[in-house]
Chains A and B, each alone.
Chain A
Amino acid sequence: MEHILAGVEGFMYPNEVELQWSILIVLYPYLTGLVAGAFILASLERVFNVEAVKPTYRLALLTALSFMIVAPLPLQLHLGHPERSLEMMMTPHLTSAMAMFGFVYLWYLMVVLVLEIWLDYRKEIVLKARSTTGALRLVYKAMSLGVDNISEESLAIDHKVGTFLTIVGIPSAFLLHGYVGFIFGSIKANPWWSTPLMPIVFLFSAIVSGIATVMLIYMAITAVRGGKIDMRCVDTIARYLMYAFIVDFSLEMLDLIHRIYEADESFKSLDFMVHTRLYTSQVILQIVIGTLIPIGLLVMAQLVKLTDGARKGLYSLTGVLTLVGIFSMRWNVVIGGQLFSKSFLGYTTYKMGFATKEGLLPAIILMVLPFVILWVLVKLLPPWEEEAAAGPGEGI
């Protein structure tokens, strides 16, 4: 028993010592958050006519799709019986928030993302299917789904349907990530999770992380391609990032102040945890480095006149810090919510493995995978208008 109790302080119920949800479950809300955020950014251009962010529209959609494809993998890997996972869709238990995941996921992936991307790229896909040869031609043929009508009228219909889908997509993106927040927020047994604010906090942090990711990817890819970063676009994205961040931070502070002021039976236990085991990840990484500093930098970019180069550096730093902050937030919710006893009398420790089923290595692989998928998608479907217009057959 001694080895099991190592890292336990105070009293835990005997079955509580081992954590149930690992770093893989930290990745799950992180990945779905990036999807929802990237999509919201894409919809800015399409629905709200924010012309400045147009250069990132397609990139944001492809980024959302790449992360979306990977999002269920950590869950699948985490299950004790992954071979039974389809039962969640075949025989869903309707009172379970988790049982809805498959449906919400499929709706979002297939109906919103894939269809919108397909409609938006249909013309290029058909042109590529005509101009390429060999296996690549077959790939594009398959992607065109046998439809090769790219007349003006047909494309106009595509555009209309696409806009409609984006409008449907915004509440869907809200649903996707608000739902992930509900999975945690509806657990009344856990006071760290149980708050009706959880879905909305998850949602805004998702928007923040998605916008930051697309901004970073856009700057990195453009730099790698030797292109010129559209500063008007990046400035606009940074401004939206700042707005979303301020709302997100306000909501998180509201939650915190509410907890401190109410100081219910769980408060002493949670307060102690934040000042000890979660201090680095919550106070230092999430609040200071991952929220206050990036908001400060974004506000500075608005107030002080900086050169293009300085702004690029500032936005890159902000983007990285933001992603560190949001990852820490997910970590603090998922892992933090399991470090204290439901008796409020003790604490345990999360012992993360490395090359184990739910260790650090699979987590790293799962974080790299969306970028590999994005690379393939960008190769197949170049998100840059000028090259698409330059004619089929040209590389990216």
Chain B
Amino acid sequence: MSETKSNRREFLATGTQLVLLTGAAAVAWEHVMAGSPEKAPNYKTTEHWWAMTIDIEKCIGCGNCVRACKTENDVKEEFFRTWVERYHVEGTEMERPEVDSPNGGFDGFREKYKAGENSKNFFVPKLCNHCSHSPCTQVCPVGATFESPDGVVLADKTYCVGCRYCVQACPYGCRYIDPRTETVDKCSLCYHRITKGLTTACCETCPTGTRKLGDLKNPADPIHEFLQSHKVQVLKPQMATGSKLYYNGLDGSVR
């Protein structure tokens, strides 16, 4: 009698475990397959506010970020979600810098300028500024491009009409029309990665730590320390777009 009881208890325990495990596996599998944060309950859009710091003094112009972005996001050859510019400023010629960005910096930069000689050279990585008062989302006639609650400017390819108004409205040249879909494309701050706890492809592959993704809503994020200890600037501050790309060492000649 007791043996039967014990068997029954074992059966129930094993059965319960199985049911629970299957359920857990099903939930876990759903997370693995989650395409959007709504389906991943461990990520809450309202708990984050994404930004990026870019330390110009660390950038060596290797182009790793550009290559990683192209691969990660399937960016078409002639367009760029991120690119790197090389600045050459002679003496006091702040208003007339020499700038180039061959193939967006994809292949790195061939040596062109010698150090010194009363001039300076530096690299400036660029990408969408993920503005909090973004002029591009303001003008979209259908709301296909929008600021997400976690501070990322995204574009919905299934809704975009392809009018190109947002491309005109972006002061930084960060948007383009993908000829394959005839809709707008831009940096998504690797939204598919950051909502799963990863960093962006460009930050991941930067060998010098020039770019760092930061969550301004996370008090423990090192971005706070960086912003406190560096003299940072945003691009084109006169545009008042609420840009969230904070550059350290940004020269006045950069536009």
| Chain A residue contacts of B173, Cβ below 8 A | 12-16, 341-343
Bound: A99/B141 CA distance, A: 4
A6 within 8 A of B: no
Stretch at the interface among B5-13, B75-83, B199-207: B75-83
In the complex, the answer to whether A11 meets B101 with C-beta atoms within 8 Å is yes
Q: Return A153 CB to nearest CB of chain B, in Å.
A: 46
> Which B residue's beta carbon lies closest to that of A101?
B141
Bound: A252/B175 CA distance, A: 31
- Using an 8 Å CB-CB cutoff, how does the interface string of B51-90 with A read, 1 for contact, 0 for none? 0000000000000000000000000011110010100000
| Chain B residue contacts of A82, Cβ below 8 A | 161
In the complex, the answer to whether A96 meets B165 with C-beta atoms within 8 Å is yes
Q: Return A269 CB to nearest CB of chain B, in Å.
A: 10
In the complex, the answer to whether B162 meets A93 with C-beta atoms within 8 Å is no
In the complex, the answer to whether A93 meets B168 with C-beta atoms within 8 Å is no
The 5 closest A-B pairs by CB, nearest first: A80-B162, A13-B173, A80-B182, A189-B171, A93-B143
> Which A residue's beta carbon lies closest to that of B86?
A11
Q: In which size bucket is the chain B interface?
A: 35 or more
In the complex, the answer to whether B171 meets A342 with C-beta atoms within 8 Å is yes
Say yes or no: A80-B183 contact (C-beta < 8 A), given A15-B79, A98-B163: yes
> What are 20 contact pairs spanning A and B, CB under 8 A?
A1-B77, A1-B102, A12-B173, A13-B126, A14-B101, A14-B104, A15-B79, A15-B167, A15-B174, A16-B173, A79-B161, A79-B162, A81-B161, A84-B159, A84-B161, A91-B143, A93-B143, A187-B169, A342-B171, A345-B97
Bound: A26/B238 CA distance, A: 29
> Which A residue's beta carbon lies closest to that of B157?
A81
B177 within 8 A of A: yes
- Using an 8 Å CB-CB cutoff, how does the interface string of A9-52 with B read, 1 for contact, 0 for none? 00111111110110000000000000000000000000000000
Could you list 15 further interchain pairs (A-B, Cβ under 8 angstroms) beyond the known A13-B83, A20-B164? Answer: A11-B99, A11-B100, A13-B101, A17-B78, A80-B163, A80-B177, A81-B161, A81-B183, A93-B140, A93-B141, A96-B139, A96-B143, A96-B165, A189-B170, A343-B173
Bound: A78/B167 CA distance, A: 14
| Chain B residue contacts of A345, Cβ below 8 A | 97, 99, 255
Q: Return B99 CB to nearest CB of chain A, in Å.
A: 4
> Which A residue's beta carbon lies closest to that of B182?
A80
A303 within 8 A of B: no
Say yes or no: A188-B135 contact (C-beta < 8 A), given A80-B182, A342-B173: yes
Choose from B142, B182, B239 the contact partner of A188 (Cβ within 8 Å).
Answer: B239
Bound: A18/B167 CA distance, A: 11
Choose from A13, A79, A268, A343 the contact partner of B163 (Cβ within 8 Å).
Answer: A79
In the complex, the answer to whether A344 meets B143 with C-beta atoms within 8 Å is no
In the complex, the answer to whether B80 meets A78 with C-beta atoms within 8 Å is no
In the complex, the answer to whether B161 meets A88 with C-beta atoms within 8 Å is yes
| Chain B residue contacts of A343, Cβ below 8 A | 99, 173, 255
> Which B residue's beta carbon lies closest to that of A78?
B163
B176 within 8 A of A: yes
| Chain B residue contacts of A188, Cβ below 8 A | 135, 171, 239
In the complex, the answer to whether A92 meets B141 with C-beta atoms within 8 Å is yes
> Which B residue's beta carbon lies closest to that of A91?
B142
Chain B contact residues, CB within 8 Å of chain A? 77-80, 83, 85, 95, 97, 99-104, 126, 135, 138-143, 159-165, 167-177, 181-183, 239, 255
Q: Which of B135, B161, B239 has the most CB of A within 10 A?
A: B161
| Chain A residue contacts of B138, Cβ below 8 A | 95-96
| Chain A residue contacts of B85, Cβ below 8 A | 11
| Chain B residue contacts of A85, Cβ below 8 A | 161
Choose from B126, B139, B164, B169 the contact partner of A21 (Cβ within 8 Å).
Answer: B164
> Which A residue's beta carbon lies closest to that of B174?
A15
Bound: A190/B171 CA distance, A: 7
| Chain A residue contacts of B103, Cβ below 8 A | 1
Q: Which of A13, A87, A99, A338 has the most CB of B within 10 A?
A: A13
Chain A contact residues, CB within 8 Å of chain B? 1, 4, 11-18, 20-21, 75, 78-82, 84-85, 87-88, 91-93, 95-99, 101, 183, 187-190, 265, 268, 338, 341-345
Q: Return B105 CB to nearest CB of chain A, in Å.
A: 9
Bound: A85/B165 CA distance, A: 14
Q: Return B11 CB to nearest CB of chain A, in Å.
A: 56
Choose from A4, A21, A91, A344 the contact partner of B168 (Cβ within 8 Å).
Answer: A21
| Chain B residue contacts of A18, Cβ below 8 A | 176
Say yes or no: A20-B177 contact (C-beta < 8 A), given A4-B78, A14-B79: yes
Q: Return B183 CB to nearest CB of chain A, in Å.
A: 6
Say yes or no: A87-B183 contact (C-beta < 8 A), given A14-B101, A20-B177: no
Q: Which of B97, B103, B143, B159 has the most CB of A within 10 A?
A: B143
In the complex, the answer to whether A344 meets B255 with C-beta atoms within 8 Å is yes
Bound: A338/B138 CA distance, A: 20
Bound: A194/B169 CA distance, A: 11
> Which A residue's beta carbon lies closest to that of B238?
A265
| Chain B residue contacts of A1, Cβ below 8 A | 77-78, 102-103
> Which A residue's beta carbon lies closest to that of B126?
A13
| Chain A residue contacts of B77, Cβ below 8 A | 1
In the complex, the answer to whether A99 meets B97 with C-beta atoms within 8 Å is no
Bound: A190/B173 CA distance, A: 11
Bound: A80/B94 CA distance, A: 39
| Chain A residue contacts of B172, Cβ below 8 A | 13, 342
| Chain B residue contacts of A88, Cβ below 8 A | 141-142, 161
Bound: A110/B162 CA distance, A: 27
Bound: A72/B119 CA distance, A: 52
Bound: A82/B77 CA distance, A: 26
Choose from B80, B99, B139, B142 the contact partner of A15 (Cβ within 8 Å).
Answer: B80
Q: Return B145 CB to nearest CB of chain A, in Å.
A: 9
In the complex, the answer to whether B161 meets A80 with C-beta atoms within 8 Å is yes
Say yes or no: A81-B182 contact (C-beta < 8 A), given A14-B173, A87-B161, A93-B140: yes
